[in-house]
Amino acid sequence: MSAEKHESEITGRFKCTSAGEGMPPACYCHAIGSIQIKNAPDDLHEQVRIRAAERSMTVRDYVLDVVRRDLARPTLDSWLERVRRGPTTDVDAGEVAALIREGRDEREAELTRRLTRAE
């Protein structure tokens, strides 16, 4: 099996070049990406280092986690487009304000009841 075919079947993305007869193609595949941030401000790097340490993570793992979480969220443009295409409603501002007020009143009554019971 050729190196190109072998790696393509495994990853579906990368092609390998063989360094010579008898060498495993995986030894010469460059399938791992790399991101480098040059000239990162010292204070930013320190904040990243601290956050990583607070989570018992390496800086590498912390940064990968931050990037993954960001990429899992839709972009602002795609989210706005989805909102524009979504259903509309005919609720006026007065109704919204009344519902908010009602929810706050209920919450206040519940807190008062709990505090009274605790005393």
In terms of Cα–Cα distance, which of 79, 61, 80 is closest to 69? 61
Cα 25–chain centre separation: 33
The predicted pLDDT at position 12 comes to 53
The predicted pLDDT at position 106 comes to 97
The predicted pLDDT at position 50 comes to 97
Per-residue pLDDT at 3 exceeds 60? no
Does residue 12 sit in the same domain as residue 23? yes
Cα 90–chain centre separation: 34
Does residue 12 sit in the same domain as residue 29? yes
Q: Which domain holds residue 2?
A: 1-33
Does residue 100 sit in the same domain as residue 83? no
Does residue 47 sit in the same domain as residue 65? yes
